[in-house]
Amino acid sequence: MSGDERQPVARPARRRRLKDRLPVRLRHHWKPAGALCAGLAVALYFFGDARVSPYVTSSSRVEADTITQNVEGTVDLYDASVSHSVQLSYDQTDYNKMIKEFRQDGTKDYISADLTIDGVYLEDVGIRLKGNSTLMSLRGNGQGTPGGGRTMPGGAGAGQGAPSASEEGAGGGRDRGQNTGGGPGATGEQPGQSAGDGKAVGQEGTGGAGGGMGGAVGGITQYNLSEEKPEELPWLIKIDEYIEGRAYQGEREISLRPGSNEQVPLNEALSLSLTKSSGQPAEAYSFTSVKVNNRPAATRLMVDNPDTEYAEAVDDGNGVLYKARAGGSFAYRGDDPSDYETSFRQLNKVGSQDLEPVMKLIKWVDEASDKEFEEDLDQYVDVDSLATYIATQNLLLNFDDIAGPGKNYLLWYDLDTKKFSVLGWDYNLTFSGDATAGPDDEISMGGGFGRRQGGEGGQNGQGLPEEIPDDIAENLPEGMPENLPEGMPEGMPGGGNGQPEQGTSMMGGHALKDRFLDSDVFDSVYKTAYKRVYAKLYGSGTATKALDRIAGQARDVAGSSKELDAAVAKLRTTVTERTAALAKNKQVTG
């Protein structure tokens, strides 16, 4: 190598400038992008802690969640003139896991099952347990909250199933006997009764039959459910849980109600029939035999569960249907509709409507003076419809209505009139009160009734006795007071501290119903509605005829049996006594 030859010098690679790292398109349009980022920075600086509320004002009637696959089937699902059958098949491991999780923390998750309904096969439907207090005996862990395996005061003994206070309701009292085991059949036993036999146990309430179902406390049926008898469990069948957009005959949810065989809820079927006869919306129903895997068949009541399709069938669907949640309340929580999602579930028009109308109704009821309530109620509520609803619940002897512990009601908001109507659902506690109750009487959980105002006749404002009868008091757990409603046990409606939540009372209550009934201005409207519904249901003989028809439908599925005949006779006694008592009441017929 010559001396003047130079060695190449290694140069460090030049780092790419920041602008060179950006995409070409962004480099060409950096000014609009920079302005957008600057605007976002300013918004975050000034409004970063502000709360954005999801107000929706569109009045579109289009549902985002539409049916894309409708299985027609062979016979109408709720055609009472034919016999129906339901077969559920699932993996036992999935079922065991579901039961274990329910026992541990009360969760009710779906599992996949194959459904054969009236001979039509549907693969991969979702099924889950349905109910709260209804399922207490199944959970069997001795808790006092729903699912805790304890009974209301007056239970017949240890190990009984819990009261069916609501299908999705809150409630449940305490009983000295409780389930202690966690496995199948680990419930306490009555003499001559096997553990986990799936029968309703308890003592019969006074003043009326408990709806034709098995043993009851104060008219509240108690079910001793067993995981070994899944054909007797209350189920919700969801057709589209795993296959989006699928429905069966336009139905996406089917409810198998509590009670089986001789305890099939004839009272609920009768109440649904009479509600429809009165001109009010009511779910369709039919009796069916139910088989699960290789288990024997059980007779069940199958009911259309309130869902999107049910909501769209109300008044041609020109409105929004809201379902009250068991754990919620009618309490004002502020001006953000999202704060009411724990109290109400919107069933239809999700995305085009929201909970704002409910929020405004609650706020007005909460803040209106008595004079404002009387003068302006018709601006918010269809007054005649409200009167009809309240009258019907009294006539059906239903203590678990809008004011009951289970909060079993729906709010229908008409998009044309901008007014609310109250609709009923979940009638498994009807025909369980005193058959002689009149329009001014509050139907009681304990089978009696009290005056609507002032608690006359030894009853308080909730229709509960001021002093618990001796035969019930002796069955109360140690330390529970014998005077209600103060000091109610944890797990009862209103919370564990014994205090009712705003908008409710200890054993229920509802500001809208209570204020309406307490006003003299609306008394004539209520009494007129009462007379009209009475004439349709009882004065015309409709109730008796409907019971005959329903009894025949149940026998077509279950076959004749002494137990079913006894249940029909028990309900018939209540209907007969109710008809006779109302006919003698001058407020009703005069």
The span from the CA of 342 to the CA of 349, in Å, is 18
Cα→Cα distances 187→177, 227, 404, 472, 553, Å: 10, 11, 28, 22, 33
Pairing type for strands 344-346 and 69-71 reads unpaired
- Return the closest-CA partner of residue 87 out of 42, 123, 62, 129: 123
**DSSP conformation letters of 531-551:** HHHHIIIIITSHHHHHHHHHH
The residue assigned the tokens 């140069």 is 11
φ, ψ of residue 300 to 5 degrees: the values are: -135, 160
* 528 CB-contact burial (10 Å; exposed 0-12 / middle 13-18 / buried 19+): middle
The span from the CA of 241 to the CA of 535, in Å, is 43
Largest CA-CA distance found in the chain, in angstroms, rounded: 133
- Return the closest-CA partner of residue 120 out of 186, 72, 172: 72
Six-digit token string for 122? 């549907």
CB neighbours of 8 closer than 8 A, spacing ≥ 6?
A: none
> What does DSSP assign to residue 483?
B
| Amino acid letter, residue 401 | D
Q: Give the containing element (helix H, strand E) for 115.
A: strand 111-117
Distance of alpha carbon 127 from the chain centroid? 17
Q: Give the containing element (helix H, strand E) for 370.
A: helix 370-380
Pairing type for strands 69-71 and 246-248 reads parallel
The span from the CA of 252 to the CA of 239, in Å, is 5
pLDDT at site 176? 28
3-state helix, strand, coil in the chain (%, to 5): 35, 15, 50
CA angle 228, 131, 73 (to 5 degrees): 80
Cα first-last separation, the chain: 131
pLDDT at site 326? 85
On the CB side of 152, how many CA atoms lie within 13 Å of its CA? 30
The span from the CA of 309 to the CA of 424, in Å, is 16
pLDDT at site 568? 97
Six-digit token string for 446? 């304990």
Six-digit token string for 176? 């000295």
| Long-range contacts, 438-441 (Cβ 8 Å, 24+) | 438/581, 438/582, 438/585, 438/587, 438/588, 439/391, 439/394, 439/526, 439/527, 439/530, 439/585, 439/587, 439/588, 440/587, 441/394
Pairing type for strands 409-414 and 420-424 reads antiparallel
- Return the closest-CA partner of residue 221 out of 154, 174, 288, 141: 154
pLDDT at site 413? 98
Q: Is 424 helix (H, G, I), strand (E, B) or coil?
A: strand
> What does DSSP assign to residue 307?
-
The span from the CA of 165 to the CA of 517, in Å, is 24
| Amino acid letter, residue 551 | A
Paired with 129 in beta bridges are 235
* 477 CB-contact burial (10 Å; exposed 0-12 / middle 13-18 / buried 19+): middle
Paired with 424 in beta bridges are 409
On the CB side of 521, how many CA atoms lie within 13 Å of its CA? 13
**DSSP conformation letters of 267-336:** HHHHHHHHHHHTTS----EEEEEEEETTSPPEEEEEEE---HHHHHHGGGG-EEEEEE-TT--S----S-
The span from the CA of 21 to the CA of 39, in Å, is 24
On the CB side of 494, how many CA atoms lie within 13 Å of its CA? 22
Distance of alpha carbon 29 from the chain centroid? 56
| Amino acid letter, residue 187 | T
Six-digit token string for 385? 């419809």
Six-digit token string for 258? 């509590």
Pairing type for strands 285-292 and 84-89 reads parallel
Task: List the pLDDT tens digit at each of the 590 positions of the chain.
Answer: 444 444 444 444 444 554 455 555 555 555 666 666 666 665 555 545 544 444 443 343 445 478 999 999 999 999 988 999 999 999 999 999 999 999 999 999 999 999 999 999 999 999 999 988 788 889 874 443 333 322 333 333 333 333 333 444 333 332 323 333 333 333 333 333 333 343 443 333 333 433 333 344 444 566 789 999 999 999 999 999 999 999 999 999 999 999 999 999 999 999 999 999 999 999 999 999 999 999 999 999 999 999 999 999 999 899 999 999 988 999 999 999 999 999 999 999 999 999 999 999 999 999 999 999 999 999 999 999 999 999 999 999 998 999 998 889 999 999 999 999 999 999 999 998 899 999 999 887 655 555 554 333 333 333 344 344 444 444 444 444 444 433 333 333 443 333 444 444 445 689 999 999 999 999 999 999 999 999 999 999 999 999 999 999 999 999 989 999 999 999 999 999 999 999 999 999 98
398 torsion bin: left (phi>0), alpha (psi -120 to 50), beta (else): beta
Q: For the CA atoms of the chain, what is the radius of gyration?
A: 29
Six-digit token string for 66? 């539409």
Given a contact cutoff of 8 angstroms between Cβ atoms, the answer to whether 76 and 249 are in contact is yes
Distance of alpha carbon 308 from the chain centroid? 15
Six-digit token string for 191? 């003499």
Cα→Cα distances 581→270, 352, 436, 531, Å: 19, 48, 5, 14
- Return the closest-CA partner of residue 202 out of 233, 170, 165: 165
pLDDT at site 443? 86
